Each structure stands twice: as structure tokens, then as C-alpha cells.
Amino acid sequence: MTLNFYRLLMGALGLSALLLASVVHAEGHLRIARQFGIGYLLLDVVRDQQLIEKHGRARGLDITVEWHSISGATAMNEALLSGALDVVSAGAPPMLAIWDRTLGQQNVRALAALGSLPNYLLSNRPEVRTLRDFTAQDRIAVPAAGVGFQSRVLQIEAARLFGRQDFRHFDHISVSLPHPDATAELVSGATEVTAHFSSPPFQYQELGNAGVHKVISSYDIMGGPATFNLLYATQAFHDSNPQTCAALYEALAEAESWIRAHRPEAAETYLRVQHSRLPLGFVRRIVEDPEIDFTISPQRTQVYASQLYELGILKHRAASWKDYFFREAYARPGS
């Protein structure tokens, strides 16, 4: 399901979509969505090898899986809360925002991390070497301006640079664009977009152009490797579908182990599932990048949680990463 199709669907549903929030499907039916980029490789492997179905059968359950693609955390969260999807994926900050927003109601929590990947803020303007070099004439492309992963990370850094009262310093020059579109515009240099807070594989494509350079990495801001994106659901779906959720978690754990042992084949999986025309060698270099860890264990997510709470974006303080994860994730170490 494309984003445009999703918007048409939601428009057609109108107010009746609110009623769907209480609809919970029976065990064995899963509607799941990914966004764009190699940061969702775990899901590509799960899909390609039909691992959810495999682990469902091991539990005596036939699971039908519907796969969808949506760009941006806002659309993901709307689809989840409306009942249009059962399990969605987005950056750690947007997931924390919906956890915070739904506490005591839908109680959204994470099922698993999807990996720790650095996101690079890139620019095609030679004058821009640090965040302080951006001006009112610049435009920073992000998937979900003001609320997505990249915007929240920028807000965390802006608070350090300009003070908490000005943590939205870069919001007014941020524009929402899917990563593929932002990549094309930054490389062309022919539009208003002069920067892109990118993600793999797009940032590597962009850096292949002489006119594009890195300004800062999300790892620089977070103090080291940190979870990029998470998979999450409502408590109603989770609690009503324990076998389906357990099979999903087991599928992700198997995909993690398989990627570690088969990185070249994992690159081939990405190209096949995403119908990508990127060169295999290029994708292999990304999958084998030591900065990237395709792990379902959360890393530094509580740094996001504490920083966003201090900025007033989150109303609830998380005492531990386990506050916003379902119990399946507790078996592994996290942060």
C-alpha cells in the first residue's frame, strides 16, 4: 500500500475509521508495514523467507501476512490507531511519542528493535560544515518534518546548541519528503532542498556525488550506536494475538542470526524484495558496514526517551526501556 493510496483510503473512511481502533483480528492474521530503506532489512528477510509463517506453524498456527509500505511516521501511526494496520515501523522517537500519547488508552508499545544504523545529515552547499552554518534559505528534507526520527534527533542537538527554548530551531527549514525523492533532489541541486537527513542506502548513494558531503551523524548526536527504528503495536492487538506476536518476534530473531551469517545473501534479499536496481556490490558494502547492526535488541533508546521528556515532547518519564516494550523483548539485553 503506497502512502497516496493510504491517504485515499483514510479519506474515504472518514470518521468511521475511529471505530476501527477497537477492532482486533483473530490469531493468524497480521497486517504489517515497513518504510523505505535498508534499515528495514530484517523485515525484508522475514518476508522473503516467510519466517512469520514458519514460526506460526511451529506453534500450530497458520498465519496470513499482509505486507504494506508507507513513508513517514505520521502515516504509520494514523494507520495503527485507526485499525488499518496491526504492526507498524518507524524511528524510535516517533514510536516513543505514540507510546506517550496512548498510555492508559491503546497502550502502544514496541515489539522489537529493527537495528542500529547511523543516519547522516548531508548537504550540497559547500558552506555548510556544521549545524550552525544552516540559514533560513536552506531546506532540510526529512520523511516527517517536526515529528519523525530525523527531526527529533535534530531537536535534541538543537537544544544543546541553542538552548531548550529553541529546540525547534531547524523545524522551520525542514520539509517532508520520502527518502527516494529527497535523494534525487539533493543530488540534482536544482530544487529548494539543500540538505537531507538521510538513511541507508540513500545516504551512501548521495555521498557518491562530489557535490554532497556529511555534516553530522545521528551517532554523533546520540553518543554512539543507537536504535534507528522499531516495530510496534497496540496492547489490544498484542494481548489478543499472543501466538502471532510470539511468532513475529521469533521470526525477527531468526532473521537477525541469518543476516549475521549471510551478509552477502542479505544484500541480495534486499534487492530482490525491494525490486531495487542498486548494484549488488554497493548494497553489500552497506550491509557489511561495521557501523550498522541489524539487531532486535534496543540500543540507547532510553537516551531518546529521557531527552524528549526533558524537552517536553514526552509527558511521561520512562524509568526503563522496558516501560515502552512488550514482554517478548525482555529476554534480551537492551537500553
pLDDT digit string (tens) for 96-108?
Answer: 999 999 999 999 9
Kindly state whether residues 111 and 144 are assigned to the same domain. Answer: no
The pLDDT value given to residue 36: 84
Among 222, 246, 266, give the residue marking a domain's end: 222
Kindly state whether residues 86 and 14 are assigned to the same domain. Answer: yes
Kindly state whether residues 104 and 126 are assigned to the same domain. Answer: no
Kindly state whether residues 306 and 211 are assigned to the same domain. Answer: no
Kindly state whether residues 22 and 109 are assigned to the same domain. Answer: yes
Kindly state whether residues 175 and 255 are assigned to the same domain. Answer: no
The count of domains in the chain is 2
Q: Which domain holds residue 187?
A: 120-222
pLDDT in tens, 126-146: 999 999 999 999 999 998 899
Kindly state whether residues 25 and 75 are assigned to the same domain. Answer: yes
pLDDT in tens, 245-268: 999 999 999 999 999 999 999 999
Residues linked to residue 325 through DSSP beta bridges, in sequence order:
110
**11 has pLDDT over 70:** no
Kindly state whether residues 92 and 195 are assigned to the same domain. Answer: no
Among 189, 222, 255, give the residue marking a domain's end: 222
Among 187, 222, 257, give the residue marking a domain's end: 222
pLDDT in tens, 72-125: 778 899 999 999 999 999 989 989 999 999 999 999 999 999 999 999 999 999
Kindly state whether residues 112 and 11 are assigned to the same domain. Answer: yes
- Here the CATH number for the domain that contains residue 175 is 3.40.190.10
Written as one letter, the residue type at 162 is: F
For the CA atoms of 184, 190, 191, 194, the dihedral, rounded to the nearest 10 degrees, stands at 80
**303 has pLDDT over 90:** yes
The pLDDT value given to residue 25: 58
Give me 86's grid cell.
Answer: 496491526
**225 has pLDDT over 70:** yes
Average pLDDT, the chain: 91
pLDDT in tens, 163-185: 999 999 999 999 999 999 999 99
Kindly state whether residues 239 and 107 are assigned to the same domain. Answer: yes
Kindly state whether residues 134 and 68 are assigned to the same domain. Answer: no
Beta strands in the chain (DSSP E): 29-34, 64-69, 87-91, 109-113, 120-123, 140-142, 174-176, 195-197, 213-217, 229-233
CA–CA gap between residue 184 and residue 191 (Å, rounded): 10
For the CA atoms of 229, 286, 218, 294, the dihedral, rounded to the nearest 10 degrees, stands at 40
